[in-house]
Amino acid sequence: MKTEKIVAVIFLVGLLFKLMLWPFGGVLVVISLGGIGMMYFPGAFYFFSDKSISRQNIALSIISGLFLAFVVLGILFKLQYWPGSHLYLLIGTYTSPVLLIITYILKSKATEELKRYYNSMLLRIGVLTLLSLLFFLTPTSTILKIQYRHDPELARLKILHYSDHANMEYKKQHDDYIRKRDSLRTIGEIK
């Protein structure tokens, strides 16, 4: 859990930087979410355990790690505007509540020794279920409007370009606008 708290802080700082259009926002988001996604899937049996690997439900850890990695990668892909985010978030949004219910049922039947493990799993799965639902229901256009709130025309062009990557006219309009805006900034007409 300590590692996840550190990663959460890095993610929140990266998200703030990204939404404020400050440098390194995207890098911090990729490092934090990509790193935790890689820890969740291949190393879930180790990462989710307490101090001893034997004090856990290994099958639950591995399955949870796989599906929680989908959630984390879906959020990463959505924030970076990469293709595939909808599929990852769809899988995560439908599987994480099921994992939450299964974990709750297993906790009620668990020995005292395993209750701490199940409590941390419930917290982890609960938080990621809420985040998955939030990002799944938030349109990418809304994220673009928030990120480019100071330049509505750029936000509009990015939404058009994002919605149809194959349309070269949208790409040309977007690129022309960026070039024009940057050339005006260099000569000092726009602050």
User: For the residues of 112-167, what is the DSSP string, one character each?
Assistant: HHHHHHHHHHHHHHHHHHHHHHHHHHS-HHHHHHHHTTT-HHHHHHHHHHHH-TT-
d(CA 67, CA 69): 5
Residues 6+ apart with CB under 8 A from 52: none
Residues 63, 84: one domain? yes
- Pair 33, 106 in one domain: yes
- Report residue 25 CA to chain centroid gap: 13
Give the chain's domain count: 2
- Token pair in block for residue 21: 């259009």
191 domain residue, yes or no: no
User: Which of the pair, 80 or 56, is modelled with greater confidence?
Assistant: 80
Within-domain flag for 124: yes
How would DSSP label each residue in 59-98?
A: HHHHHHHHHHHHHHHHHHHHHHT-TTHHHHHHHHHHHHHH
- Residue 53 reports pLDDT greater than 60: no
Domain that holds residue 43: 2-138
Residues 42 and 87 placed together within one structural domain of the fold: yes
Whether residues 46 and 87 share a domain: the answer is: yes
Is pLDDT of 164 > 60? Answer: yes
Query: pTM for the complete prediction?
Result: 0.86
- 49 with 133, same domain: the answer is yes
Report the amino acid identity of residue 181.
R
pLDDT tens figures, 63-82: 999 999 999 999 999 999 99
- Give tens-digit pLDDT for 105-145: 999 988 887 888 888 899 999 999 999 999 999 999 999 99
- Residues 152, 131, single domain; the answer is no
Same domain, 121 and 176: no
Whether 191 has a pLDDT exceeding 70, the answer reads no
Q: Which residue has the higher pLDDT, 109 or 55?
A: 109
User: How is residue 20 written in tokens?
Assistant: 């404020």
